[in-house]
Amino acid sequence: MKEEELFRDTIARFVDNEVIPVAREIDETEEFPQEMFKKVAKLGAYGIRYPKEYGGTDANITMFCILCEELARGSMAVAAFTAMQCLMGTDFIFRYGTEDHKKRLLLPATKGEKVVAFALTEPEAGTDLSAIRTTAQKTKDGYVINGLKTWITNAPYADCITVLCQTDKEKGLKGLDFFLVEKGTSGLSVSSKFHKLGTKGTQVSEVAFDNCHIPLENRLGEKGKGHDNLRAILAEIRVMTAALSLGLARAAYKASLQYAKERIQFGRPIGKFQAIQMKIARMATEIEASKLMVYNTTRLMDKGNRCMKEASMAKYFASEVACRVADEATRIFGAYGYSMEYPVQRFYRDARFLLYGGGTSEILQIIIAKELGL
């Protein structure tokens, strides 16, 4: 569609002119790139999924994934904090928050004036949400939250965090709810940032809750529906992660193709050797397959279809492809692929991030099998 092509061109120019030139610096400094965060905000990117009244453009899932793909082509760190700001960190506020929440938190978040986070994972609970131990105890005027969350993206800078808590242990998954905790709440503390293998420009840390008292209206959604509400956006999270994977794979492929044309060995470019040609051909083929899977899924979702199977397949396939392509890129570059001077080492490190968010490959294969009736 012409509108999608124009949008992709706009984001691609931004990535080429603004993101790629500083991607190495963002990685090496390991600091939250506040200036880049503001530049992405000026694009209107953070509100892409939301109505105009909340600072958005009310775009569809296809457009959202185009944004994620192109940003990941430039910097996975930039793409990751953008995805958090666009989807996980704001979705529950939009769907279940009060009008005050939307005006005071969502609208500033879509403008890039506030940073948001999403706290799901715990030291003993990742995929197994039934193991969630962070609790929210109801009081006469609100809830008191106690527990620990880990691997929380944006936490060191977050102005508000959407937190999954257990409200009724006896009910299992039906006893889970999401709550909104704002910066400055008594009992809320954030650890120092984690030092990670990749996506170093995203800040990740632990978040602890020690008798954090929040008002009643900060429960997001109907009581006991936390797990169901999470499942409602899981397909979008997975296809978004697949789009991030596609963007990184494209970047690694482009660098490899260019290097194969320029690097001379035995009197000719290494791209003239069959072994390298086979690597490049396999990269291109798997990237094309990833692209078809991602955008077939988004178009089905844009029509209102339930796409858990398709989204899980796209995320599983595209994330594994991104890892394979990034690995092959380091092999094509040879010893230079081991050097911090070239970006392929960053692609290789950042690709690992894609294997975990939205479900591991192992879990996704189980989900796909169940969707197929097994």
> What tokens were used for 364?
């996704």
Average pLDDT over residues 244-260: 98
In angstroms, what CA-CA distances link 186 with 142, 172, 207? Answer: 14, 28, 13
Q: Region 223-237: what's the mean pLDDT?
A: 95
Q: For the residues 38-57, what does the mean pLDDT come to?
A: 95
CATH code linked to domain 116-226: 2.40.110.10
Q: What's residue 318's pLDDT?
A: 98
Per-residue pLDDT tens digits for 257-302: 999 999 999 999 999 999 999 999 999 999 999 999 999 999 999 9
pLDDT grade for 126, boundaries at 50, 70 and 90: confident
Specify the CATH superfamily of domain 227-371. Butyryl-CoA Dehydrogenase, subunit A, domain 3 (1.20.140.10)
| pLDDT score recorded for residue 167 | 96
Give the pTM.
0.96
The predicted structure's pLDDT at residue 268: 97
Q: What is the pLDDT of residues 65-109, one digit of tens each?
A: 999 999 999 999 999 999 999 999 999 999 999 999 999 999 999
Residue 101: CA count within 13 A, CB half-sphere:
24
User: How many helices (DSSP H) and strands (DSSP E) are in the chain?
Assistant: 13, 10
pLDDT at 2: 87
Mean pLDDT of 228-253: 97
What's residue 248's pLDDT? 98
Contact yes or no for 243/68 (Cβ under 8 A): yes
pLDDT at 124 over 80: yes
User: Would you say residue 1 has pLDDT above 80?
Assistant: no
* Per-domain residue ranges of the chain: 2-110, 116-226, 227-371
The confidence score (pLDDT) of residue 54 equals 93
The whole-number pLDDT of residue 322 equals 98
List pLDDT tens digits, range 143-201: 999 999 999 999 999 999 999 999 999 999 999 999 999 999 999 999 999 999 999 99
Give residues with Cβ within 8 angstroms of 254, minimum separation 6: none
Mean pLDDT for the chain overall: 96
Sorted by sequence, the CB contacts under 8 Å of residue 100 that are 6+ apart come out as: 217
What mean pLDDT do residues 306-317 have? 97
Mean pLDDT across 306-324? 97
24-34 mean pLDDT: 96
Are 78 and 33 a contacting pair, CB within 8 Å? Answer: yes
pLDDT surpasses 90 at 241: yes
Residues 117-139, mean pLDDT to the nearest whole number: 94
Q: Residue 137: which region, alpha, beta or left (left: phi > 0; alpha: psi -120 to 50)?
A: beta
- Burial label for 275, CB within 10 Å (0-12, 13-18, 19+), is exposed
Picking from 55, 40, 59, the residue whose alpha carbon sits closest to that of residue 107 is 55
Dump pLDDT digits (tens) for 50-77.
Answer: 999 999 999 999 999 999 999 999 999 9
Question: Looking up tokens 């990833």, which residue turns up?
Answer: 290
Give the whole-angstrom CA distance, residue 79 versus residue 354: 11
Q: What percent of the chain has pLDDT over 90?
A: 98
Give the CATH architecture of domain 2-110: Orthogonal Bundle (1.10)
